[in-house]
A and B are shown apart, each in its own frame.
Chain A
Amino acid sequence: MNKLMLVIAIALTTMMAYAGAETGKAAPGFKLTDLDGKEHSLADFKGKVVVLEWTNYGCPFVKKHYKSGNMQMLQKKYTDKGVIWLTICSSAKGKQGYFSLDDWKKESAKAKSSGTAILPDPTGVAGKAYGATATPHMFVIDAKGILVYQGAIDSNSSFDPKTIDGATNYVAEAVDAVLAGKEVKTKETKAYGCSVKY
């Protein structure tokens, strides 16, 4: 009986996790405060392409993309083109990957994070709205506020930085397509990485 309950609980948790955001529909709104105390709402960015990046600096899969410089390269490349890049961390207070604001400032400077803003989400409200399960977990929203991509950053689920070359970067593909006014080819993939520490 207990086992059955556990199975149901697991199934429900999994369903809830994936109930998040639906590709092709309006992206869920959220309001989060950045490291300088400035509030950001998704609605503020209407008319712009938005990338959401779920992060956890202690996660080997996140390190793969930061230590190689791949994530910062993408952040810079696309913010230079007018894309809004929001880096979100849903680690709850006391959980692995959580930082105080001071530590966030230090760590993000050290990581040379180059997006628009870093948004801690310790209550997990944004993470759960999108169904973010992994770090990194990526979402691309078009200028009309429609979610056009969700899933992995690229096609190779290894933590080894040498696998970045040769992998297909789904985020770059999606953003390039949206900026060119084209249809996104790969709309959904399974995110890989560490679990989000809600």
Chain B
Amino acid sequence: MFVVTKVNALFGRRILLMSSILSAVFLAACTPSSDPPESKDTGDTVDAEAVYSEAALKIPNPQVTPGGTVEGAITITLDPGWHTYGDPPGDSGMPPSVAFKLPQGWKSEVMPLPPTKEFPDAVGVSYGYENQLKISFRLTAPPDAKVGTTTDVSIDLQWLVCKEMCLPMSETLTSKITISQNETKETPNE
């Protein structure tokens, strides 16, 4: 059993407990590749099977001392013409949802999103990002983390991309962090 800290930017933080199996099933259910034909039927020029946006996880210095913090970022890249949403998203859309799956005792914090651009349409204005969105976060290891071990970091990311029509995106991003004895020398401002 993992502790899933769901950081839903729109509705604040909430903590959900669920088995990893359950979330895997749900994730499978909402992966965009599972429902391309319906999107295609809408008479739009967008090819729902193509990928217009990708997400990557980077933890530049994946080491942490017990009780220490480590920083990382999720980068969402978007094809020209597509945009994703900020928080709040405005008159339509949804901000990215970032749910960390971490072992007991770990804490996660998502930094405020960068300033948004306005996307006006027939019904109002949305706020969001073109080209790229970087979501920075900080993880705190429990004080009793065992030196020499590695921890799996898993993030369930959901984001909405739109260009006339909208496509739901969902991906699980993973990385590893090593628990080290010493403060990491590579981080100058620690």
Q: Do A and B come from one complex?
A: yes
- The answer to whether A14 and B160 have CB atoms under 8 Å apart is no
Chain B residues near A160 (CB-CB < 8 A): 26, 30, 97, 158, 168, 170
Chain A interface, >50% SS class: loop
Contact with A along B1-22 (1 / 0, CB 8 A): 0000000101100000000000
CB of B150 within 8 Å of the partner chain: no
- The answer to whether B158 and A159 have CB atoms under 8 Å apart is yes
- The answer to whether A63 and B38 have CB atoms under 8 Å apart is yes
- The answer to whether A60 and B122 have CB atoms under 8 Å apart is no
Binds B, one of A26-34, A35-43, A70-78, A92-100: A92-100
Chain B residues near A134 (CB-CB < 8 A): 91-92, 123
Binds A, one of B39-47, B63-71, B108-116: B39-47
- The answer to whether A158 and B122 have CB atoms under 8 Å apart is no
Given contacts A10-B125, A57-B38, A160-B97, contact A96 B44 (CB under 8 A): yes
Chain A nearest CB from B90 CB (Å) reads: 10
Report the nearest A residue to B164, measured CB to CB.
Answer: A96
- The answer to whether B166 and A194 have CB atoms under 8 Å apart is yes
Q: What number of A-B contacts does a CB cutoff of 8 Å give?
A: 104
**Measured between alpha carbons, how far is A195 from B163 in the docked complex, in Å?**
11
- The answer to whether B165 and A96 have CB atoms under 8 Å apart is yes
Report the nearest B residue to A94, measured CB to CB.
Answer: B43
**Measured between alpha carbons, how far is A59 from B92 in the docked complex, in Å?**
11
**Looking at the complex, which one of A99, A107, A192 makes contact with B94 (CB distance below 8 Å)?**
A192
Chain B residues near A194 (CB-CB < 8 A): 92-93, 162, 165-166
Chain B nearest CB from A112 CB (Å) reads: 13
The number of chain A residues touching the other chain, given as a range, is 35 or more
Report the nearest A residue to B158, measured CB to CB.
Answer: A160
CB of B54 within 8 Å of the partner chain: no
- The answer to whether A158 and B8 have CB atoms under 8 Å apart is yes
Given contacts A13-B120, A133-B92, A193-B92, contact A58 B30 (CB under 8 A): no
Contact with A along B24-44 (1 / 0, CB 8 A): 001001100001001101111
- The answer to whether B94 and A159 have CB atoms under 8 Å apart is yes
Chain B residues near A96 (CB-CB < 8 A): 42-44, 164-165
CB of B188 within 8 Å of the partner chain: no
Chain A residues near B41 (CB-CB < 8 A): 57-58, 103, 107
Closest 3 CB pairs of A and B: A58-B42, A60-B168, A133-B123
4 new A-B contacts, CB < 8 A, other than A10-B120, A97-B42, A162-B30, are: A58-B165, A156-B11, A160-B170, A194-B166
